Amino acid sequence: MPNPPTSPRSKYALPVSLLAVAGVAVLSLGCRADQVAHYRVPKEAAASHPDHPGHAEESMAAPAGADLPAPPVPTGQGALKWSLPKGWSAQGGSGMRYATFQSPVAGKLEATVVVLPGPAGGELANVNRWRNQIGLPPLDEAGLAKARTVLKTKAGALNVYDFTSDGQARSRTVAGYIATADGNTWFLKMTGDADPVAKARPDFMRILESIHLD
Amino acid sequence: MIKPLALRTWSFLKSFQLTIVLLALLMALVVLCTLAQVEMGTQGAVNAYMRSFLVWKHFASVPFGVPVFPGGALVGLLLTINLIGKTLDIKLSWGRSGMWLVHAGLVILFAGEFVAGMMQVDTQMSIEVGQTVNYVQAYKNMELAVIDVTDPKWDEVYSVPDTLLAKGDPIAIPGTPITVKVKKYFPNAELTTLVPGAEPSLATAGVGTGVSVVGIPVVSADNEMNQTSAFVEFTAGGRSYGTWLASVALGAPQSFTHEGRTYAISMRLRRQYLPYAFTLKQFRHDVYPGTQIAKNFSSLVQVVNPSRQESREVLIYMNQPLRYEGKTFYQASFGKNDTLSILSVVENPGWLLPYVSCVLVSIGLLVHFAIVLRRSLKRRQDQKEG
> What is the per-residue pLDDT for B301?
95
Mean pLDDT to the nearest integer, A84-99: 78
Mean pLDDT to the nearest integer, B317-341: 88
Phi-psi region of B237 (alpha: psi -120 to 50; beta: other; left: phi over 0): left
pLDDT at B251 over 80: no
pLDDT at B279 over 90: yes
Residue A65: band (very low, low, confident or very high) from pLDDT cuts 50, 70, 90: very low
Mutating which of A17, A51, A52, A131 best tests the B interface, going by the most B Cβ atoms within 10 A? A52
Answer for the pair B277, B308: CB distance below 8 angstroms, yes or no: no
Burial state string for A63-91 with b = 16 or more CB within 10 A and e = fewer than 16? bbbbebbebbbbeeebbbebeebeebebe
Mean pLDDT to the nearest integer, B304-321: 92
| pTM of the model as a whole | 0.66
Superfamily per CATH, domain A76-213: Mog1/PsbP, alpha/beta/alpha sandwich (3.40.1000.10)
Residue A106: band (very low, low, confident or very high) from pLDDT cuts 50, 70, 90: confident
* Model confidence pLDDT, tens digit, residues B116-137: 888 889 999 999 888 889 999 9
> What is the per-residue pLDDT for B229?
94
Answer for the pair B221, B188: CB distance below 8 angstroms, yes or no: no
Enumerate the domain spans of chain A: 76-213
Percent of chain B with pLDDT over 70: 98
> Which chain A residues are closer than 8 Å to B210 by Cβ?
117-118, 183
CA-angle at B41, arms to B26 and B127, nearest 5° = 125
Nearest Cα of chain A lies from the Cα of B384 at a distance, in angstroms, of 31
Smallest Cβ–Cβ distance between B192 and the set A1, A42, A72 belongs to: A72
* Residue A73, helix vs strand vs coil: coil
- Residue B191 to residue A68, Cβ atoms within 8 A: no
> What is the per-residue pLDDT for A168?
63
* Model confidence pLDDT, tens digit, residues B27-53: 999 999 999 998 888 888 998 999 899
> Which chain B residues are closer than 8 Å to A183 by Cβ?
210
Sequential DSSP letters for B19-52: HHHHHHHHHHHHHHHHHHHHHHHHHHHIIIIISS
d(CA B239, CA B258): 9
pLDDT at B358 over 90: yes
Nearest Cα of chain A lies from the Cα of B376 at a distance, in angstroms, of 23
Chain centroid offset of residue B229 CA: 22
Residue A22: band (very low, low, confident or very high) from pLDDT cuts 50, 70, 90: low
> Which chain A residues are closer than 8 Å to B224 by Cβ?
66-67
Average pLDDT value over all residues in chain A:
72
Smallest Cβ–Cβ distance between A39 and the set B140, B167, B273 belongs to: B273
d(CA A142, CA A147): 9
Average pLDDT value over all residues in chain B:
90
* Model confidence pLDDT, tens digit, residues B60-91: 888 888 999 999 999 999 999 999 998 888 88
Is A53 at the interface with chain B, CB within 8 A? Answer: yes
Q: Which helix (H) or strand (E) segment is B301 a member of? A: strand B294-305
d(CA A205, CA B185): 41
> Which chain B residues are closer than 8 Å to A70 by Cβ?
190
Q: Which residue of B has its CA nearest to A2?
A: B92
> What is the per-residue pLDDT for B286?
86
> Which chain B residues are closer than 8 Å to A65 by Cβ?
225, 269
> Which chain A residues are closer than 8 Å to B140 by Cβ?
64
Q: Which residues contact B258 (CB under 8 A, 6 or more apart)?
A: B177, B178, B236, B237, B239, B241
* Model confidence pLDDT, tens digit, residues B174-199: 999 999 999 999 999 988 777 667 78
d(CA B342, CA A119): 33
Nearest Cα of chain A lies from the Cα of B59 at a distance, in angstroms, of 26
> What is the per-residue pLDDT for A36?
92
> What is the per-residue pLDDT for A24?
56
Residue A19: band (very low, low, confident or very high) from pLDDT cuts 50, 70, 90: low
pLDDT at A16 over 50: yes
Q: Which residue of A has its CA nearest to B172?
A: A36
> What is the per-residue pLDDT for A94?
57
pLDDT at B332 over 60: yes
Answer for the pair B285, B294: CB distance below 8 angstroms, yes or no: yes
